[in-house]
């Protein structure tokens, strides 16, 4: 039986005790396999939205009103055990800061195993390790047992974020929520991660809710963009439309704030994507990068 209709339909409000209306009647939807960009300034409620979809706001004493319809099921009405079964297996989360998202006291293998065992068991440790190594390979990390034995403090930030993505896709979720996954990374790594997400989207058919404050990243990845400001969804449209004719004043300010875009704005989406992936030449004047393109290319090409 093939599930029909939208993957995610959201119409919700969230209140915190000290901040009522953290999200105010935010309504959007997401198709299967689609990448939706969610843009907003800091404090606009982007992360709250991610937490709400995962049913995690109550851990911060928040209260959800409204509906979160995911894959034909109503998440807002679910109890904790059902939600737990969905978290990590159907909906995954990647956070902004890769370093603090990894448990400093545990080896990488342990963290992998925990992510795996949260939903499945019955695999021998040898098979488990093969699975982990395969996922390391999928995100272009060294697929070596030695790497698995490391502690988080022994890997780089970029490696950490790719590792987190690897763990997030282990159960082949239908939706990956990426909450500013690139903002803690340097521009090259940023681009690598963006490319990786695009590739995984294409390969696994996994929808992505891509949360960012960086319009350029959004433009490179998403067909549609939703703009969040102070808990309200002020605009939701095709990426190109947003860039060409931002309707809302806030959106306009966002677009104008994009620093290094040439004044003659590219008209097609492909061009925008090119503008982003070609970060180096768009920003050459400001910050020359050594051999950025080749790094990026190797990343793209090594994709199996």
Partner 1 sequence: MTKARRIAAIALLLLTGASLFAGWIARHPYQKQYREAIASPPAAGFPLGTDELGRDRFSRLLHGMRISLLLAPAAALLSTTLAALLGLTAGFLGGWWDRAVTGATDLFLSLPWFFLIITVRALLPLNVAPETSVLITFGLLGLLGWASPARVIRSAVRSLERSDFLLRARAAGSSNPRLLFIHLLPNLAPVLMAQFWIAVPLFLLSEADLGLLGLGVVEPLPSLGNLLRELANFSAVAGNPWMLAPAAAVMTFVGGLHFLLAPRSGAGT
Tokens representing residue 223 in the block: 């067909």
Phi, psi of 45 (to 5 degrees): 105, 15
Residue of 38, 41, 9, 11 lying closest to 242 (CA atoms): 38
Closest CB to partner 1 among residues 97, 295: 97
- In angstroms, the CA 6 to CA 32 distance is 6
Q: Does 151 bind partner 1 (CB under 8 A)?
A: yes
Rounded to the nearest whole angstrom, what is the least distance from the CB of residue 295 to partner 1 in the complex? 26
Site for partner 1 in 65-84 (CB under 8 A): 84
By CB under 8 A, the count of residues binding partner 1 is 32
Q: Quick one: which of 117, 172, 203, 281 contacts partner 1 (CB under 8 A)?
A: 117
- Angstrom CA distances, 139 to 99, 110, 112, stand at 17, 18, 14
End-to-end Cα separation, the chain, in angstroms: 30
Q: Does 85 bind partner 1 (CB under 8 A)?
A: yes
Q: Does 160 bind partner 1 (CB under 8 A)?
A: no
Q: Quick one: which of 44, 92, 189, 220 contacts partner 1 (CB under 8 A)?
A: 92
- In angstroms, the CA 111 to CA 171 distance is 14
Rounded to the nearest whole angstrom, what is the least distance from the CB of residue 83 to partner 1 in the complex? 9
Site for partner 1 in 174-203 (CB under 8 A): none
- In angstroms, the CA 98 to CA 107 distance is 15
Closest CB to partner 1 among residues 121, 302: 121
Q: How long, in residues, is the chain? A: 304
Q: Does 89 bind partner 1 (CB under 8 A)?
A: yes
Under the rule (CB under 8 A), what is the footprint of partner 1?
Answer: 54, 56, 59, 84-89, 92-93, 95, 97, 100-106, 110, 114-115, 117-119, 151, 153-154, 164, 167-168
């Amino acid at each position: 039986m093939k599930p029909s209709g939208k993957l995610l339909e959201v119409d919700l409000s969230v209140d915190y005790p000290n901040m009522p209306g953290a999200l105010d009647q935010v309504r959007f939807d997401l198709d299967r396999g689609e990448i939706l960009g969610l843009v907003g300034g800091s404090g606009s409620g982007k992360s709250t939205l991610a937490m709400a979809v995962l049913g995690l706001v109550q851990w911060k004493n928040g209260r959800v009103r409204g509906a979160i319809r995911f894959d034909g099921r109503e998440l807002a009405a679910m109890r904790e055990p059902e939600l737990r079964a969905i978290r990590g297996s159907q909906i995954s989360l990647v956070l902004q800061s890769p370093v603090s998202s990894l448990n400093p006291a545990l080896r990488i293998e342990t963290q992998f195993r925990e992510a795996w065992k949260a939903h499945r068991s019955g695999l021998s440790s040898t098979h488990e390790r093969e699975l982990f190594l395969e996922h390391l390979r999928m995100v272009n990390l060294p697929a070596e047992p030695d790497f698995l034995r490391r502690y988080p403090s022994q890997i780089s930030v970029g490696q950490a974020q790719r590792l987190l993505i690897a763990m997030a896709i282990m159960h082949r979720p239908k939706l990956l929520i990426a909450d500013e996954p690139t903002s803690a990374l340097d521009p090259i790594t940023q681009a690598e991660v963006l490319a990786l997400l695009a590739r995984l989207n294409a390969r696994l058919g996994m929808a992505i809710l891509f949360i960012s404050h960086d319009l350029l990243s959004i433009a490179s990845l998403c067909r549609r963009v939703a703009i969040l400001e102070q808990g309200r969804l002020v605009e939701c449209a095709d990426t190109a439309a947003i860039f060409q004719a931002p309707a809302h004043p806030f959106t306009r300010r966002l677009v104008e704030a994009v620093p290094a875009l040439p004044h003659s704005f590219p008209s097609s989406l492909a061009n925008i994507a090119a503008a982003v992936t070609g970060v180096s030449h768009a920003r050459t004047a400001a910050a020359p990068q050594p051999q950025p393109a080749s790094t990026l290319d190797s990343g793209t090409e090594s994709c199996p």
